[in-house]
Every structure is written in C-alpha cells, then in structure tokens.
C-alpha cells in the first residue's frame, strides 16, 4: 500500500521542522517533530520514511551527546536497511555507529564497524555497476552532523592551543580523525596525525597510539 500524498507531505514537513530546530540547537523541539514524523512513518508501509525517521532522531541524540540512545536508533535503522539490500545505507550507518563508539572511547568496537563500512563500500560499488543505488538523501543529516562536529572540535582545539593546554588539544584532535575520514576529508588526516602522534607520545596516551596503528591497518591514510 502506498502512502497518500497528504501523509507524505506531512512526514516531510515534520522531518524538515525537526532539521530546522536541530540546526538551531533547539533539540527538544527537534525531537518533538522528529518523533511525530516517526509515528507517522510507522503507520505507513514506507521503509524509506521509517529509516529517515530513525536516522533523524538518532542524529539529534548524537548532537546532544546521548550516544547510547543515538546508537540504538542507528542500529534500528540498520536492521531495516539490511533487509532492503541497501549497501550505501549500510556503509553510512556502520560509519556513524563506528564514530559513535569512537566518541565513547570504545575504540576496538569502532574499528570493527569501520571495517564493516569499508566492506559495504566495496559491495556498494559493485551494486552500483548493476543498478541505480538507493539515493543517499535518507542519510544526509548524518553528513551534516558530522560536519558540524568537526567545526565544534576545531573551535575547541583553537581555544586549547591559545591556552597551551596539550591534553585539550590532543583529545578533540583525536576525536576528529574518523569524522574527517567519513566526511570525505581523508586527505587532511595525515597532517592531523602529525600533530596527534607526538602529543600522544609526550602525554603517554598509549591507547590513542594503539588505536591509530589499528586504524592505519584497515584504512590507507
């Protein structure tokens, strides 16, 4: 059964309102509209709308640093994506779940998800040669929030540098690495690592050094 146009427009309107308030960092209002969109999506047979609604809510919690709630929602959307055979969606969701694990300090877990993302990337390329892939519009908000995350981290680094605070330079710099990789800025990562590695050695942050080594084994940086 297809959605009628009124339901579809309502869903799009509610989703856009959620995005608008999220951009203003009015997260409770963003959640209000995104949850309404989710309830509407559940009443239809549109897997696309359901994925979008789950991803949108996850992205809001992600920006609120409520990473457990965000990750649960990303996993819920991943379950639907895996049923639809959308390799592009799998790649993007594996990436954001991996980045979320990285933010929580669960580095081994994050590396596992990055490996899955890379595998899904190669499968998506093969699939693209056969047919038109599901358009990535469903996941645009994840790119947006990761880009915003980079800007926030850059600002924190700038403040810490002015205060000569090595620890507060290192941690956001390290947090920025996977965001750079999965927003198409991988070319900037080598210079970032040139700053991170000496600081990590100086501060004896062995876990950071071990994680970078593990990351370099699966991603050519």
Give the DSSP letter string of 74-85. HHHHHHHHHHHT
pLDDT recorded at residue 50: 96
In order, the DSSP letters of 92-106 are: HHHHHHHHHHHHTT-
Could you give the count of Cα atoms lying within 13 Å of 50 in the half-sphere of its Cβ?
16
Q: Which of 79, 91, 93 is nearest to 117 (CA)?
A: 91
**102 — phi, psi (to 5°)?**
-60, -45
What single DSSP character describes residue 219? Answer: S
Q: Which whole-number Å values give the CA distances from 52 to 32, 77, 186, in the listed order?
A: 15, 8, 26
Query: Which residues does the chain have with pLDDT short of 70?
Result: 1-8, 122-136
Q: How far apart are CA 168 and CA 186, in angstroms?
A: 23
Answer whether 189's CB lies under 8 Å from 212's CB.
no
pLDDT recorded at residue 127: 46
Q: Kindly state the tokens that stand for 72.
A: 């649960």
Q: In angstroms, how far is the first alpha carbon of the chain from the final one?
A: 47
pLDDT recorded at residue 131: 37
Domains of the chain (ranges, CATH numbers): 67-218 (1.25.40)
Q: Which of 18, 103, 7 is nearest to 56 (CA)?
A: 18
Average pLDDT, the chain: 90
pLDDT recorded at residue 4: 52
**179 — phi, psi (to 5°)?**
-65, -40
pLDDT recorded at residue 40: 95
pLDDT recorded at residue 125: 55
């Amino acid at each position: 059964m297809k959605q009628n146009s009124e339901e579809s427009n309502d869903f799009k309107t509610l989703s856009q309102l959620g995005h608008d308030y999220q951009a203003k960092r009015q997260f409770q209002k963003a959640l209000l509209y995104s949850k309404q969109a989710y309830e509407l999506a559940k009443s239809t047979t549109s897997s696309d709308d359901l994925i979008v609604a789950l991803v949108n809510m996850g992205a809001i919690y992600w920006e609120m640093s409520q990473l457990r709630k965000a990750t649960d929602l990303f996993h819920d959307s991943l379950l639907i994506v895996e049923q639809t055979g959308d390799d592009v969606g799998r790649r993007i969701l594996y990436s954001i779940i991996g980045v979320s694990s990285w933010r929580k300090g669960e580095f081994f877990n994050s590396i596992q998800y990055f490996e899955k993302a890379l595998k899904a990337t190669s499968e998506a390329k093969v699939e693209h040669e056969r047919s038109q892939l599901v358009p990535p519009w469903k996941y645009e908000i994840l790119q947006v929030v990761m880009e915003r995350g980079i800007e926030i981290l850059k600002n924190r680094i700038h403040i810490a540098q002015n205060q000569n605070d090595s620890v507060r330079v290192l941690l956001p710099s390290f947090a920025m690495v996977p965001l750079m990789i999965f927003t198409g800025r991988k070319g900037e990562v080598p210079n970032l690592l040139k700053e991170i590695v000496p600081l990590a050695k100086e501060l004896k942050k062995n876990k950071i050094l071990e994680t970078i080594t593990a990351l370099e084994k699966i991603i050519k940086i």
